[in-house]
Amino acid sequence: MAMELRRPERTFTIRQLCTEFKATPRALRFYEDKGLLTPARDGMNRVYSYKDRARLILILRGKRVGLSLQEIREILELYDEGDDAMHQNAHSLKKFREKIVVLEQQREDIEGAITELKTACERLETRLAEKRPDLLPKAADYDQMLRARLDGHAEMAMGK
């Protein structure tokens, strides 16, 4: 039975995907409205395949890096293949190249922001240590943070 869950014929309900990826049903239906997902139906109800789930993963990651749903759809359509529109493809190619430039800039920005935040943290920490050491975070807080990170990574691993 547990093995069944791993078989690629497996399907998912909307809620299963929502809880797995911390999304809402509203969001998934919205993505469907916008043409990013097209799950099958069992009567009225949506039935998500493994492929749908893979698309959802791409959607969510696209969002995290700041792509619009429209841009994400273009990428997904590329993977769909099968149609003729080569002009479309030429256009996509150009837009993707532009997006890569933007993302590389973003990566620089983020690295800068990370180091800046870290130095700000150090400043805060030493100042707090001097004047109000009682306000410094306790070991328990760190524990909770670590838990959160591990949870996050567990999901990532499953997603992959």
What are the residues binding a copy of itself (CB under 8 A)?
Answer: 61-62, 64-67, 75, 78, 86-87, 89-90, 92-94, 96-101, 103-107, 109-114, 116-118, 120-121, 123-125, 127-128, 131-132, 135-137, 141, 145, 148-149, 152
**Binding partner at 25 among DNA, a copy of itself, none, C-beta below 5 to 8 Å by kind:** DNA
Q: Does 69 engage in binding with DNA (CB under 7 A)? A: yes
Neighbours of 145 (CB within 10 A): 11
Only segment of 39-47, 84-92, 113-121, 135-143 that touches DNA (CB under 7 A): 39-47
CB half-sphere exposure, 48, CA atoms < 13 A: 22
If one asks whether residue 112 binds DNA (CB under 7 A), the answer comes out as no
- CA torsion, points 12, 18, 23, 29, in degrees to nearest 10? 50
User: In terms of CB distance, is 60 or 128 closer to DNA?
Assistant: 60
Buried b (16+ CB within 10 A) or exposed e, 18-55: beebebeeebbeebeeeebbebeeeeeebebeeebbeb
Of the residues 10, 40, 45, 126, which one makes contact with DNA according to CB under 7 A: 45
Asked if 103 and 64 touch (Cβ cutoff 8 Å), the reply is no
Segment (H or E) for 93:
helix 86-131
Give the residue with the Cβ less far from DNA, 33 or 104: 33
Using CB under 7 A, which of 11, 20, 21, 29 touches DNA?
A: 29
